[in-house]
Structure 1
Amino acid sequence: MPIRYILKQLFMPPGVLLLLLLLAWWLRRRAPRLAACCFVAGLGGLWLLSLPVTVEALARYLEREPVLATSAWPQLAQQAEVIVVLGGGRERDDPAWGGDQPSALALERIRYAARLAKASGLPLLTSGGLHYGQPPSEADLAAEVLATDFGLATRWRESHSRTTWENAVNSAALLREAGIQRVVLVTQAWHMPRARWCFEQAGLTVVPAPMGMLGVANGRPAGGWLPEGRALWQSTLLLNELAGAVLYPWLYSTD
């Protein structure tokens, strides 16, 4: 198991918050005041991240790209040459389907890319590697869904990337061979700023096509101040994205 994955689970929520609670238990006799601080930080962090209002606030900070109006979809072919849809994970061995399937996040992206492709007539590129180190790749799964469920062929498949940066670099290499430089980029709105930055660093001109907004009125009882499991999961996605937005320019900038 990659050390990077282990470290990410330990030092990003909810892992780091659970470690704080464990530390509070271990320190309860040795250092009661420090134990109390760890307990409050761990439990308070879990409560805060489980609130829909927290998700809404974090997402509004990240979701900076405007959506594409549906009336603009047919004109996309005048602005770009291909639609690039990024992988968003995969689920292993679903018995209902007889094999691996794209995750819920990935399916959102695929569906939106299919609508854009049908409206604009632009070709498709799917990007995403071997999520568990074994085939099929996320790109192949996306291409299969596009063909089977939407009747759309995928012209290019980028099947080796493990990160958003590799999505961009590998896709740019494929498209460069075809003389293509302008892309419509499809991913979740909270992921779009980092994804767009990566693709532009790789030398491509990007028309952002964000979807799956979380920074909208949450519509939950009590205004979103009641904790829920889904909000905890979404908060961890957004915090991971914030960390990526900070680290990527430092790790990958070509300037």
Structure 2
Amino acid sequence: MKRLVELLIMPPMSLYLGVLCGLCIRFVANRLPEPRPMLRRMGTSLAALSGAVLVALSIPQVAFWLLDSLQTSPAISPTAESIDAEAILVLSGDVDCDPPEFGPDQPGPISLQRCRYAARLSTRTGVPILISGGVLRPDRRAVSLVLRDFVQDELHVPVRWTEERSHTTRENARYSAEILARDGIRRVAVVTHAWHMPRAIEVCKAAGLVVLPAPTAPATPPANLRDAFVPRARSFRDSAWAIHEWIGRLWYRISA
């Protein structure tokens, strides 16, 4: 049910439904025995507004504004040789299932960025890594195990802990805190994307952790005016991530 609700309220599905509903309202209004201009205008406005938002979300400058509204934590200096943390907590992201060129599951693009930065941060500071992420599908390994193998086998950086039960960011924090508590650890450097960091900080603090934000891959503004306002599919994806984060933060506060 949760997945269905998320599908319906997130773009693009919610906007497609808005266009469809608007057209249906207009169609019904045109076929009523008596003219209903207000109902017809309502349908037209709903369809037009939904379509306009679809276009707006694909504009790079709009996508940047949405993501940048979430990027409130500065990056750790790339020359820092020590950090005020006892562990590096990596929040897992996506996974590529059974890629034909690799065979076993591999980290997806989002997970790759987080793993790469965590590995570099750990190598530079000597702080050990915990990767958090549970099973996405019953026939798959936990995401944290897929990421652990990548970090250790390809980046050649050890991973001290893995958390394999979580399915949400809130559970990432809760179960990771339990693992770290066994070693008396509370201070963590949280590695995730810059636009995901606000929600990550909130849940980690709620789980009793002392957080040092370690954001990676921040969104950057378009390079020029042409790039800023020419619609792109990638920009729509970026806008959807930002909207997902804002809705996620609101839901976590309501359901806390």
Query: What is the CA deviation profile of residues 7-66 of structure 1, one whole-angstrom value per residue up to 9, with x for unaligned ones?
Result: 111111111001011112322321332221121122111101001111111122110001
1:18 aligns with 2:41: no
1:236 to 232, 236, 240: 240
Mapping for residues 91-102 of structure 1, pairs under 5 Å: 91-102=96-107
Q: Give the equivalent residue in structure 2 for 1:120.
A: 125
For 1:153, give the aligned amino acid.
P
SS for the counterpart of 2:15 is: helix
SS for the counterpart of 2:248 is: helix
For 1:235, give the aligned amino acid.
S
Tell me how large the CA RMSD over aligned residues is: 1.2
Deviation at 1:184, TM superposition (A): 0.8
CA separation in 2, counterparts of 1:208 and 1:97? 33
CA separation in 1, counterparts of 2:106 and 2:51? 35
Indicate conservation of the 8 Å contact 2:87/2:127, yes or no.
Answer: yes
Mapping for residues 1-255 of structure 1, pairs under 5 Å: 3-31=1-29, 32-72=40-80, 74-76=81-83, 79-214=84-219, 216-219=220-223, 222-252=226-256
Deviation at 1:145, TM superposition (A): 0.6
For 2:64, give the aligned amino acid.
E
CA separation in 2, counterparts of 1:71 and 1:213? 18
Query: What is the CA deviation profile of residues 53-105 of structure 1, one whole-angstrom value per residue up to 9, with x for unaligned ones?
Result: 11111122110001111122x112xx111111110121222111102221101
Using the size of structure 2 for normalisation, the TM-score is: 0.93
Stretches of structure 2 lacking an aligned partner (at least 5 in a row) = 30-39
SS for the counterpart of 1:67 is: coil
Stretches of structure 1 lacking an aligned partner (at least 5 in a row) = none
Q: Which of structures 1 and 2 has the bigger CA Rg?
A: 2
Aligned residue pairs, count: 246
Indicate conservation of the 8 Å contact 2:23/2:44, yes or no.
Answer: no
